[in-house]
Structure 1
Amino acid sequence: MISDDVDLVFHALEEHYMGKPLDYINKCWEENKSGARITLIALYDQKFAGWLHLLSTSYYPYFVDEGIPEINNFEVVPTLRRKGIGNALMDAIEQISFDKYGIVGIGVGLYYDYGNAQRLYVKRGYIPDGRGVFYEGKYAEPGRFVQIGHELALYLTKEKPAGR
């Protein structure tokens, strides 16, 4: 991400009904400058096609404790999915993470809107971190009720393959 990408991303996300507040996109740029985040942007036919972020310090407690960076806010324009854009972004961000940390983590939602992401992460070799599902800042415990939504996630990790 470079400073000129702030407006590009903002307008492209709005155009595809994937909008994010301009303040959030500016925050991403500031965190790229500070090194707290790496944002990769994909273009297709010279237009915005998607983006993802690597947080050096995750919001997820287990990743924080273990020093595992987190892939965050991974989005590909819906009309451009199934063209290899998401895999290209993942290849690039995994390589960056493996070179620096030897491991990478990601969280995924548990309802149908996340179905494509769930399948992609499994195909790419991600495995659950073994701590169960996470809901509103806490691990879900037996007998606790949770609501299916964006706050319910399963976290996965992938280690650097041997020989890389």
Structure 2
Amino acid sequence: MSRRVLIRLCGSGDPAKLHEAFAEVGWDKPVALFERYVQEHAAMSRHFLLAEVDGAVAGYVTLVWRSAYPPFAEDGIPEVSDLNVLPRFRRSGIAASLLDHIEQVAGQRSPVLGLGVGLYVDYGAAQRIYVRRGYLPDGRGLMYANQPVPTGETVPLDDDATLMFTKQIDRHS
């Protein structure tokens, strides 16, 4: 049986649906977060896409046009920020489809796309998909809250500990 996958812009009616879908699996994704993403999309500072499978929320991705990571901001590199696929839809191409769409959007403005990925086991699938898609570490080492971690420094291994990646993308795809 074929499933119908739809990748579309996230609209004002979607934040509650996203919150409910992620709450069902125990993830704390407040409605206010998704409402902010919708507002930032309307203000053209973020691009916000939703994935649905047969009408059910499957995941989402956002792209910020001005990264909070200083090297990306200085070079005008947009950043994939907050890609999530619900567990029951993983390993079915949803993340790849979301990335295909967001790379195409980014390619209209920049030849390079960036992202940060966490370092602990919850990010293992993300680490693998990004490398398979051609993202490479930017060579600046471990970041914590978008700032370099000096040699010998100790930081918590949480969502703020990241390795930053970039990818050359086709500007006209």
**Do the two structures share a fold, i.e. TM-score over 0.5?**
yes
Unaligned residue ranges in structure 1 (runs of 5+): none
Residue 130 of structure 2: aligned partner: 121
Structure 2: distance between partners of 1:74 and 1:44: 16
Give the fraction of aligned pairs with identical amino acids, expressed as a percent: 37
1:133 aligns to 2:142 (yes or no): yes
Task: Report the structure, 1 or 2, having the larger helix content.
Answer: 1
Instruction: Measure the CA separation in 2 of the matches of 1:101 and 1:161.
Output: 9
TM-align CA RMSD: 1.5
Aligned-residue offset at 1:147: 2.0
> SS in structure 1 opposite 2:60?
strand
Q: Which has the higher contact order (CA 8 A, sep 6+)?
A: 2
How many equivalent pairs are there?
Answer: 164
Partners in 1 of 2:30 and 2:110 — Cα distance? 30
Q: 1:163 to 1:80 in 2, by over 3 A?
A: closer
Q: Alpha-carbon deviation of 1:161?
A: 4.2
| 1:59 shift after superposition | 1.3
Distance 2:157 2:16 in 1: 33
| Alignment partners' CA distance in 1, 2:172 and 2:11 | 32
Q: Does 1:46 align with 2:55?
A: yes
Shift of 1:163: 8.0
Secondary structure of 2:37's match? helix
Q: Which of 90, 96, 105 is the equivalent residue of 1:96? A: 105
Given the two structures, how large is their TM-score scaled by the length of structure 2?
Answer: 0.90
Match of 2:163 in 1: 154
Is contact 2:109–2:171 with CA below 8 Å preserved after alignment? no
